[in-house]
Amino acid sequence: MKKKMVTRFLVGVALILGLGIQTMAQKLDEERMRRDIEVAKNVLSTLIKQQIGNQQTFFQLDIKSSYQAGYGVTLSLPADYTTPILLSGSGGDISDALGGNGSVNIQIWSDDEEATGFTNVNGGGNGTVTINGTVMGGENQGQAGSNDRATNAPSYSLREKARERKEQSMDSIRDVYNIKVIEAAKTFLVDYGDMITQLGAQEKIVITNQGGVQPRLWVNQYFNAPKRTHLSIEAGKADLTQYRQGKISRDQLLQKITVVNTETVEASEPDLELLSSIFNRLYGQDLSSTYFTDDNIYYERLKDYGAIFYMHVFSSIEIDYRRFMMPTLKLEDVDLGTRNKKTTEIFPKFEQSIKENILEYGRTLKSLKDDELLVFQVKITRCPDCGIPAGAEYSIKAGTLKDFSAGKLDKNAAMNKIAVKRGEKQ
């Protein structure tokens, strides 16, 4: 009897110690994951700059990252037109796309949510690039000038010699840049993807240019701005492991990498506009019981990919310093602590509601092909102390929506087919 009691006691102690060790290991894994991802971001940024060419790179490529268990790591480049891609110096594909040693003056929205106005980028001759009046490179580096604002009209000019050459469109610049990004992403996945050591066998690494919800666009009055593009380059951990073990060749791994490179479609889609209006109404302050949206929900139709809807949702309205109103919860005057607590509590309810609404109303879509995706990218209400993500993405194939509508799938089965990808915690 005593032996049994001693045995049970020892087993209990072992379990407790085991749990403690496991908890420490998980913590160490999280630290390793964060370190691996930071190094990976640096490597990817360097590879992209190297692919662009030997021109002077004057910008920091802000790559965001997130890890979601069961899904993998997402490395997000800034969306189209939020990063200057015109580099100083002569030669190279980007310079050729511009027409040689010409100059270009382009106004680009700042990627800073709090910023207003434009950043002015001016590529001039003699190996110089001017940003907001400051000359980068060349003999006059550091020379300051005026800070151009949104009221200044952008211009596109080439030297006389460059005028004799065929004028290249801004689409060419974008396309060349995207090709360089894809090549750099492939190199990263094949040669450096295994640096992220904590990935599970079923997880993957995704590199995309969907770096933020509701990306800002160029505003251009004198020539048509290029269409926005959607890039996604991804590889599975299992494929990377097989390559490292010598079970598949480099060429075979490259063939397994999935690449999406598509652009927006300008044609109006009545059913997409209708779905946008439905979700605007569903998440109005009077109908929603979780988060609400004050912005118009808009969409982009992407060729051979599907449709992406962009939302920005909020939990509260600040009525005074650190005092808040939460209209969807019928709370008129709460302090910051209560606001944060409630914001955290309703996040799971919001996720459940948006998935249900995607199923219920998404099946009204007729313009999407069965293999195309319906995607909702959601920027989540700001709450740094809540432990909720800054954003989330919910996607489902149009064919699944049609099967649900036809009764071929029940609600639970259809809900399980909605892919959920959460961003970094705030």
CA–CA gap between residue 281 and residue 287 (Å, rounded)? 7
pLDDT of residue 426: 87
Cβ atoms within 10 Å, residue 198 = 19
CA–CA gap between residue 164 and residue 151 (Å, rounded)? 31
Give mean pLDDT, residues 282-304.
91
pLDDT of residue 154: 42
pLDDT above 60: residue 153 = no
For residue 29, tell me if it sits in a domain.
yes
| Tokens found for residue 120 | 């002015």
Higher pLDDT, 123 or 348: 348
| Tokens found for residue 184 | 């750099």
Task: Tell me: do 158 and 61 sit in the same domain.
Answer: no
Angle value at C-alpha 96, between 104 and 210, nearest 5 degrees: 70
Closest CA to 209 of 64, 421, 35, 378: 64
For residue 88, tell me if it sits in a domain.
no
pLDDT of residue 174: 79
Lowest mean pLDDT among 1-10, 19-28, 284-293, 394-403: 19-28
pLDDT of residue 212: 52
CA–CA gap between residue 305 and residue 303 (Å, rounded)? 5
For residue 255, tell me if it sits in a domain.
yes
| Tokens found for residue 21 | 């060790």
From 263, 285, 304, the end of a domain falls on 263
pLDDT above 70: residue 158 = no
pLDDT above 80: residue 70 = yes
From 221, 236, 263, the end of a domain falls on 263
The upper half-sphere exposure of residue 341, i.e. CA atoms within 13 Å in the direction of its Cβ, equals 6
Give mean pLDDT, residues 128-152.
37
pLDDT in tens, 375-399: 999 999 999 989 999 999 999 999 9
pLDDT of residue 60: 63
Question: 99 near 165, Cβ under 8 Å?
Answer: yes
pLDDT of residue 333: 94
Angle value at C-alpha 288, between 287 and 292, nearest 5 degrees: 120
Question: 305 near 373, Cβ under 8 Å?
Answer: yes
Task: Tell me: do 187 and 156 sit in the same domain.
Answer: no
Task: Tell me: do 16 and 68 sit in the same domain.
Answer: yes
pLDDT of residue 172: 75
Q: What does the buried/exposed string (b/e) look like for 250-266 if buried means 16 or more CB atoms within 10 Å of the residue's CB? A: eeebbebbeebbbbbbe
Using CA atoms, how far residue 49 sits from 55, 155, 376, in Å, is 9, 26, 31
Residue-range definition of the domain harbouring residue 181:
2-80+172-263
Q: Provide the CA 135 distance to its chain's centre, in angstroms.
A: 31
Give mean pLDDT, residues 271-287.
95
For residue 87, tell me if it sits in a domain.
no
Higher pLDDT, 232 or 106: 232
Phi, psi of 27 (to 5 degrees): -65, -45
Q: Tell me which range, 28-32, 75-79, 88-92, 253-257, is most confidently predicted by mean pLDDT.
A: 253-257
Task: Tell me: do 146 and 55 sit in the same domain.
Answer: no
The upper half-sphere exposure of residue 105, i.e. CA atoms within 13 Å in the direction of its Cβ, equals 17
Lowest mean pLDDT among 4-13, 264-273, 313-322: 4-13
Percent of the chain residues topping a pLDDT of 90: 50
From 213, 229, 263, the end of a domain falls on 263
pLDDT grade for 287, boundaries at 50, 70 and 90:
very high
Q: Is the pTM of this model over 0.75?
A: no
Residue type, 383: C
Task: Tell me: do 206 and 248 sit in the same domain.
Answer: yes
Cβ atoms within 10 Å, residue 170 = 19
Task: Tell me: do 132 and 178 sit in the same domain.
Answer: no
Residues counted in the chain? 426
For residue 103, tell me if it sits in a domain.
yes
pLDDT in tens, 328-376: 999 999 999 999 999 999 999 999 999 999 999 999 999 999 999 999 9
pLDDT in tens, 160-183: 444 444 444 566 777 888 999 999
Q: Tell me which range, 86-95, 136-145, 241-250, is most confidently predicted by mean pLDDT.
A: 241-250
Task: Tell me: do 300 and 315 sit in the same domain.
Answer: yes
CA–CA gap between residue 132 and residue 375 (Å, rounded)? 36
For residue 401, tell me if it sits in a domain.
yes
Residue type, 163: R
Task: Tell me: do 279 and 389 sit in the same domain.
Answer: yes
Question: 168 near 98, Cβ under 8 Å?
Answer: yes
Closest CA to 258 of 241, 238, 234: 234
Task: Tell me: do 202 and 329 sit in the same domain.
Answer: no
Average pLDDT, the chain: 76
Lowest mean pLDDT among 70-79, 105-114, 212-221, 393-402: 105-114
For residue 338, tell me if it sits in a domain.
yes
Give mean pLDDT, residues 69-97.
59
Task: Tell me: do 160 and 52 sit in the same domain.
Answer: no
Lowest mean pLDDT among 37-41, 207-211, 356-360: 207-211
pLDDT in tens, 411-423: 999 999 999 999 8
Task: Tell me: do 314 and 383 sit in the same domain.
Answer: yes
| Tokens found for residue 187 | 């190199």
Question: 226 near 92, Cβ under 8 Å?
Answer: no
Lowest mean pLDDT among 33-37, 143-147, 275-279, 351-355: 143-147
Cβ atoms within 10 Å, residue 202 = 11
Kind of pairing between the strands at 204-208 and 134-136: unpaired
| Tokens found for residue 125 | 């001759």
pLDDT of residue 62: 84
40 CB-near residues (< 8 Å, 6+ apart):
65, 73, 75, 188, 192, 195, 196
pLDDT above 60: residue 14 = no
Higher pLDDT, 236 or 122: 236
The helix/strand/coil state of 207 is strand
Maximum alpha-carbon separation in the chain = 100
How many domains, the chain?
A: 3
Closest CA to 87 of 217, 181, 177: 177
Task: Tell me: do 65 and 135 sit in the same domain.
Answer: no
For residue 85, tell me if it sits in a domain.
no
